[in-house]
Structure 1
Amino acid sequence: WANRPASDPDPRALGLTSRHLAYIIYTSGSTGMPKGVMVEHASVLNFLNAFLDISRISAQNTFLAITTISFDIAALELYLPLSSGAKVALANHRDATEAVMLQHLVAYHKISAIQATPSTWSMLLDTGWQGAQHLNVMCGGEALPANLSSRLRERVGSIRNLYGPTETTIWSSSFLFDNWTEAPHQTVPIGRPIANTRVYLLDRHGAPVPFGAVGELYIGGAGVARGYLNQPELTAERFLADPFCGEPGARMYRTGDLARY
């Protein structure tokens, strides 16, 4: 170690740019065979910069990481604290799936932020968790029922609902749940796009749908991945030219999800 250079190498001298791959991560395969999604450094950096602003995380915070590294949202739990100087408490698999142990970790490490699915938050509440008023909750991976958010909101500092496919770099939109009043059977909105991200709702002809109408969700901007590893046909089918953006080479990802404004 003593013989290594004291400074980092110059990436330009090595021919490295922000367009090089940060990682290849496989989707769950819920809509077919798993696909290797190629995500570039620029996309990850944009995501982290956006969430440094959204989360307000700082060096005084401690983030509880409960996600396996085979799932892309683990990048938020590891890189976001690294970007801000915050601490990370790593939960093992047993603790991350056991409500009593999760409660213990939150209290013992004085956790100030957790990212988890609605199922995990429901599990905690159903086992009598009283919450933590300083805790900032990030919720994603599943539709978030409004009644669950209402129960959770009474016990934590804030709730943020997140949405995004692997193909657009972790999370693409964010909604802060704050005294939102809708019928209890409603799901919480996925909110608005994060920085340098564009969202379109299009009909089957590729035209924007009117306000209130259901359309297919397309995502453009800095988070759009390079494509699928060794699957050029599928890449061409899902990663399309963005006709609504004036930037040369701009692309958008066809999510297959339905939404409305």
Structure 2
Amino acid sequence: GFDASVWEMFPYWIAGSELHIIDEAIRMDIVRLNQYFEEHGITITFLPTQLCEQFMELDNKSLRVLLTGGDKLKRVEKRGYTLVNNYGPTENTVVATSTAIDPDEGMLSIGRPIANTRVYVLGEHNEVQPAGVTGELCIAGRGLARGYLNKPEETAKRFTEDPFVPGERMYR
């Protein structure tokens, strides 16, 4: 949980914001969670995808931004806050792509790469696939892990040479 904790705490502290660590009984009850947000004037929060999808059914007046990630976002409700969908495996410091979701658009994208990150959708022979064509999602950039501890075979299989940036690696 360390990598997620950095992403979920430090940006708020750096901005001078308050950080609320909410009791687990409240976190798991979306009605009480919504009430807590409104009573304490919470304006930005992160909720795991499944909890986020349930939370969007409620009317919330305090949030400006609802961040989500951790699973495939399957649906969205139009609300008074901006919903930001984040994607990224732990092998790339949790968030690799991000986007604000437009409920009127109908598409639930994982977004575009964040700073210092490259994302490719590759075909069978490492060729970049055109938009809309299925392929393997690969991630590269400064946030990439060095590999798996004490698992050299798995590391060699998943962390390969980046075919587009000589001397760098990507996660498959």
| Shared fold per TM-score greater than 0.5 | yes
Tell whether the 8 Å contact from 2:118 to 2:141 is kept in structure 1 after alignment. yes
In the other structure, the counterpart of 1:164 is 88
Contact 2:66 2:82 in 1 (8 A): yes
CA RMSD, Structure 1 to Structure 2 (Å): 1.9
User: How far, CA to CA, are the matches of 1:92 and 1:133 in structure 2?
Assistant: 19
1:243 and 2:163 aligned: yes
What is the match of residue 140 of structure 1?
A: 69
Query: Which sections of structure 1, spanning at least 5 residues, go unmatched?
Result: 1-69, 255-261
Give the conservation status (yes or no) of the 8 Å contact 1:163–1:190.
Answer: yes
Aligned match for 2:171, one of 246, 249, 253: 253
Offset at 1:140? Answer: 0.9
Secondary structure of the residue aligned to 1:123 is helix
Equivalence map 1:165-180=2 (5 Å): 165-180=89-104
The equivalent of 1:203 in structure 2 is 123
Where does residue 109 of structure 2 map in the other structure? Answer: 189
Instruction: State the partner residue of 1:226.
Output: 146
* 1:104 corresponding residue in structure 2: 35
Instruction: Give 1:73 shift.
Output: 2.5
**Amino acid aligned to 1:243:** P
Write the distance in 1 (CA, Å) between the matches of 2:103 and 2:22.
31
Tell me the secondary structure at the aligned position of residue 51 of structure 2: helix
How has the CA–CA distance of structure 1 residues 241 and 196 changed in structure 2, closer, same or farther, with 3 Å as cutoff?
same
Q: Structure 2 stretches of 5 or more lacking a match?
A: none
The residue that corresponds to 1:17 in the other structure is: none
Match of 1:22 in 2: none
Give the aligned length.
172
Larger radius of gyration: 1
1:159 maps to amino acid = L
2:60 to 114, 131, 135: 131
Runs of 4+ in 1 over 3 A off after TM superposition: none
| Residue identity opposite 1:121 in structure 2 | C
Report which of the two has the higher share of strand: 1
Higher relative contact order (CA 8 A, sep 6+): 1
Give the 3-state SS of the residue equivalent to 1:90 in structure 2. coil
